[in-house]
Amino acid sequence: MDIRDYLRVLSKCDRLMEIDGEVDWNLEVGAIQGMSNRVAHKACLFNNIKGYPGWRMLGSPWACCSREDVWMGNALAAGLPPGTSRSEYHRVIDRKLYGSISPTEIASADAPCKEVIKLGKEANLFELPIPYLHSTDGGRYLTAHVILHRDPDTGWTNWGWYRFMAIGPRRASSLNVPTQQGPAILFQKYWARGKACPFALAIGGDPAIAIAAAFGAGAGVCEADIVGSIRDSPLEVVRCETNNLLVPARAEVVIEGEILPGEMVDEGPFAEFSGFVHGRMQNPLYRINCITHRKDPIMIFVSQVGTVNEGICVPVPNIEADRMHLLVEEKGLPVRDVGVAAEQPNSIFVSMNDTRQHFLAQVAAVSQASKLASYEHHLWFFDPDQDVGLSHYALEAWALNCDPRTGFHISDEDAFNNPLLFITGLEERNKMINAAKVWYDCTTANKPPELIPRKDNFERGYDKDIQSRVKERWIEMGFDVPFKEIETV
Amino acid sequence: MSAEYEIHKSYIDLFARQIDAKEQVTCEVVSRGDFLRHLVRANISRSIEALPKGQKLWLRDDGSGLLDTEPYSIEILEELDPDEVTFIPEKGVGVDIYGTR
């Protein structure tokens, strides 16, 4: 599957809006897609881009979902049918994220991404309709791609998803958080030897690349192998023109280049996925040596406006599946389900099969030390029957059950601080220190029975006969929205 | 080159003395038309009136990304090729998370 096949899937599911009128790459496409994310939950395919004949633009192809089905873009991109439930997505993706099928290299002549090749001074980033997305951004940003860097010691290639700012025709920069394994750790290995770090950036190709790139796979795991696992067949890759990196053959656009030792530039500001403007930082200068693309390329971007955007909906379902894998399969802890808040992914909800406090503390210790824990500052524990898939249910239980005197536990007062989150002051964020982590006991385990309110809702408050009768007559009574049950234990 | 440009506040602060002394500066500015970053030799003034033959130079806040409401004025004398000029990291003022300065 490539992004064009995926467009047909989105169209069939009524999650694609095709727009033929002329639109401007300068703020307009970003604004349209932002509103679509907020109210329509559809990706937009723009067929007529001002100043860029022959190009199309595709906005937020994975955020075609609402808060209530935040996993759906991932599910469709992974080849699962429309209507796949959250638990079904977790069950399938958990197996696939830890699988591995190596990619297959094909000849350049057979690779659609090589239909147009521009080398050296012919390569010009500004010939691509790179959008200017938000009026507070410091420049035009690529936002939907993978960047490939190779470990000079082991040969391992990391495929990661990092914002990429166009500065000049052959100059760019990218936000590289120093502790991220991909770019920062790898290019610094080259720099220590006085060498340039080769890179490649690929836009498009298999839509499952986004799932793999946002997963947070461990060091030594190439995300291309995960894409193969998701697809049950090897990803087709092709060699770059100017270095030995292997990029998705069915990509829309590939940008090749190198990061020369010590060359830093100012990058940012950029309105980030968390809904806040992230300020200007010094980041490496990416020098462009070659651009290849299809003859009728599609420039893909994601809108960061609105709660449901790719910074949320792509990683969140995978964090949930990954955390379950870690806590239950690897550590054998009594966890029933894990949910991540779609509003801010630094809040993780855990329902426990055994709510005794030592288990809560143990889960907090393991979870808040895991790979993606730099994004995790709030951890909430609930009874086993708590639905953790939707924040408002969890927050209701928190308000009812978390005793303000005894329910709050600071587990770390000096943790790594993710500069993209905004829970501390600017200086601490920039130094990436002093982020506290906290967990909340929202269970009823240690409360006297008389203090535990009876939970009541449709499923609990009516017996099965009444529920069935209402369900059977629902459409007949004239309701035009589907009957909806929620899972309870 | 387009008619309007922008520059970051903390970056232009590095050239405060030259601007006040009406000396030429060599700095990077971003054209508002296509957001291409240009390395230029230019005269810069803190108001349009003080350099009427210049073009608008908007100041962008490094943290919030907002533009100031009153632009400076810039008269571009020469555009330089950034690849032909030795890059000086110390010119940058963004948060130095790598400790390279």
pLDDT in tens, A399-438: 988 989 889 999 887 777 777 777 777 777 777 777 888 9
Asked if A139 has any chain B CB less than 8 Å from its own CB, the reply is yes
Q: How many CB atoms within 10 Å of residue B15?
A: 18
- Separation of alpha carbons A54 and A450, rounded Å: 69
Q: How many CB atoms within 10 Å of residue A460?
A: 11
Task: List the one residue out of A482, A376, A385 whose CA is nearest residue A442.
Answer: A385
Q: Is A475 part of any domain?
A: no
Average pLDDT over residues A292-305: 94
Number of domains in chain A: 2
Placement of tokens 């100043």 in the chain: A51
Using the predicted structure, report yes or no on whether residue A112 has a pLDDT greater than 90: yes
Contact yes or no for A382/A342 (Cβ under 8 A): no
Predicted confidence at residue A290, as pLDDT, reads 98
Q: What percent of chain A has pLDDT over 90?
A: 66
Identify the weakest region by mean pLDDT among A97-106, A147-156, A297-306: A297-306
Where is A440: in which H helix or E strand? strand A435-441
Give me the amino acid identity at A193.
R
Higher pLDDT, A59 or A179: A59
Which value does ipTM take for this structure?
0.88
Contact yes or no for A367/A355 (Cβ under 8 A): no
- DSSP structural state of residue A205: S
CATH code for the domain of A161: 2.30.110.10
pLDDT band at B97 (very low <50, low <70, confident <90, very high): low
Same domain (yes/no): A20, A82: yes
Using the predicted structure, report yes or no on whether residue B86 has a pLDDT greater than 70: no
Q: For residue range B10-60, list pLDDT tens digits in order.
A: 899 999 999 999 999 999 999 999 999 999 999 999 999 999 999 999 999
Q: Which residues of A touch B8 (CB under 8 A)?
A: 138, 266, 280
Predicted confidence at residue A418, as pLDDT, reads 74
Pairwise CB contact (< 8 Å): A282 & B98: yes
Domain, as residue range, for A151? 3-310
Picking from A134, A139, A279, the nearest residue to B63 by CB comes out as A279
Task: List the one residue out of A374, A380, A429 whose CA is nearest residue A409.
Answer: A380
Residue A45 Cα, gap to closest chain B Cα (Å): 22
Same domain (yes/no): A54, A153: yes
Contacts of B3 (CB under 8 A, 6+ apart): B32, B33, B55, B56
Asked if B85 has any chain A CB less than 8 Å from its own CB, the reply is no
Q: For residue range A7-41, list pLDDT tens digits in order.
A: 999 999 999 999 999 999 999 999 999 999 989 99
- Separation of alpha carbons A181 and A178, rounded Å: 8
pLDDT band at A181 (very low <50, low <70, confident <90, very high): low
pLDDT band at A257 (very low <50, low <70, confident <90, very high): very high
C-alpha separations of A343 from A311, A413, A448 in Å: 11, 24, 33
Q: Is A477 part of any domain?
A: no
Beta-bridge mates of residue A382 = A351
Q: For residue range A115-159, list pLDDT tens digits in order.
A: 999 999 999 999 999 999 999 999 999 999 999 999 999 999 999
- DSSP structural state of residue A95: H
Same domain (yes/no): A292, A411: no
Q: Is A478 part of any domain?
A: no
Q: Is A471 part of any domain?
A: no
Using the predicted structure, report yes or no on whether residue A267 has a pLDDT greater than 60: yes
The per-residue pLDDT of chain A, averaged, comes to 91
Pairwise CB contact (< 8 Å): B64 & A426: no
Using the predicted structure, report yes or no on whether residue A247 has a pLDDT greater than 90: yes
Q: What percent of chain A has pLDDT over 70?
A: 98
Same domain (yes/no): A428, A395: yes
Q: Which of A278, A310, A342 is the last residue of a domain?
A: A310
- Separation of alpha carbons A153 and A432, rounded Å: 27
Q: Is A322 part of any domain?
A: no
Q: Which residues of A touch B89 (CB under 8 A)?
A: 262-264, 282
Q: Which residues of A touch B99 (CB under 8 A)?
A: none
Same domain (yes/no): A355, A417: yes
Contacts of B19 (CB under 8 A, 6+ apart): B12, B25, B44, B45, B46
Predicted confidence at residue B96, as pLDDT, reads 64
Using the predicted structure, report yes or no on whether residue B2 has a pLDDT greater than 60: no
User: Which pTM was predicted?
Assistant: 0.90
- DSSP structural state of residue A330: I
Higher pLDDT, B25 or B90: B25
State which of A228-237, A458-467, B73-82 shows the largest mean pLDDT.
Answer: A228-237
Contact yes or no for A363/A337 (Cβ under 8 A): no
Same domain (yes/no): A55, A188: yes
Using the predicted structure, report yes or no on whether residue A285 has a pLDDT greater than 80: yes
Task: List the one residue out of A311, A294, A293 whose CA is nearest residue A302.
Answer: A311
Q: Which residues of A touch B82 (CB under 8 A)?
A: 168, 171
Same domain (yes/no): A151, A195: yes
Average pLDDT over residues A296-306: 91
Asked if A427 has any chain B CB less than 8 Å from its own CB, the reply is no
Same domain (yes/no): A41, A182: yes
Q: Which residues of A touch B93 (CB under 8 A)?
A: 266, 280
Q: Is A269 part of any domain?
A: yes
Same domain (yes/no): A335, A373: yes
Predicted confidence at residue B63, as pLDDT, reads 87
Question: Best mutation site among B2, B11, B28, B98 for testing chain A: the one with the most A CBs within 10 Å?
Answer: B98
Predicted confidence at residue B98, as pLDDT, reads 61
Contact yes or no for A305/A134 (Cβ under 8 A): yes
Placement of tokens 């230029």 in the chain: B40
Predicted confidence at residue A367, as pLDDT, reads 87
Picking from B10, B61, B87, the nearest residue to A263 by CB comes out as B87
Same domain (yes/no): A268, A390: no
The token pair that represents A257 in the structure block: 């280049």
Using the predicted structure, report yes or no on whether residue B95 has a pLDDT greater than 80: no
Identify the weakest region by mean pLDDT among A173-182, A264-273, A387-396: A173-182
Using the predicted structure, report yes or no on whether residue A179 has a pLDDT greater than 70: no
Pairwise CB contact (< 8 Å): B36 & A136: no
Beta-bridge mates of residue A337 = A351
Contact yes or no for A249/B67 (Cβ under 8 A): no
pLDDT band at B90 (very low <50, low <70, confident <90, very high): very low
Q: Which residues of B touch A271 (CB under 8 A)?
A: 65
CATH code for the domain of A357: 3.40.1670.10
Q: Is A57 part of any domain?
A: yes
Placement of tokens 């239980």 in the chain: A397
For chain B, report the end-to-end CA distance as a whole number of angstroms: 31
Where is A350: in which H helix or E strand? strand A347-352
Pairwise CB contact (< 8 Å): A282 & B11: no
Same domain (yes/no): A266, A355: no
Same domain (yes/no): A306, A345: no
